[in-house]
Structure 1
């Protein structure tokens, strides 16, 4: 599904970075998406949206998963 979305869709280089920095980078590199910071363990919906990138962080605010359009 993500291949149908416009612009950059994955940011492996942000793994281990601060969540706020990652979110700003994602929105700068693909202005068509909204980066949403989510705490690991949170319950989220499963639908895939081309306008959303979840930035999963731990309690320290560090990115724990590769951010992708999902």
Structure 2
């Protein structure tokens, strides 16, 4: 599905980064998406969206999963 979306779709280089750095990087590199910072363990909906990137973080605000469009 990500191939149908516009712009960059994955940010493996942000694994382990601070949340604020990840958000700015993602929104700069792909202006078609909005980011959602989500604490690990939070329940989220499962539907796919080309305009959303979830940034999963731990309690120290460190990115714990590779951010991807979805």
The two structures share one fold, judged by TM-score above 0.5: yes
Question: Normalising by the residue count of structure 2, what TM-score does the alignment of the two structures yield?
Answer: 0.98
1:8 and 2:8 correspond: yes
Q: CA deviation at 1:49?
A: 0.3
Structure 2's unaligned 5+ residue stretches are none
Count of aligned positions:
70
Moved over 6 A (4+): none
Matched with 1:37 is 37
The root-mean-square deviation of aligned C-alpha atoms, in Å, is 0.4
Question: Normalising by the residue count of structure 1, what TM-score does the alignment of the two structures yield?
Answer: 0.98
Structure 1's unaligned 5+ residue stretches are none
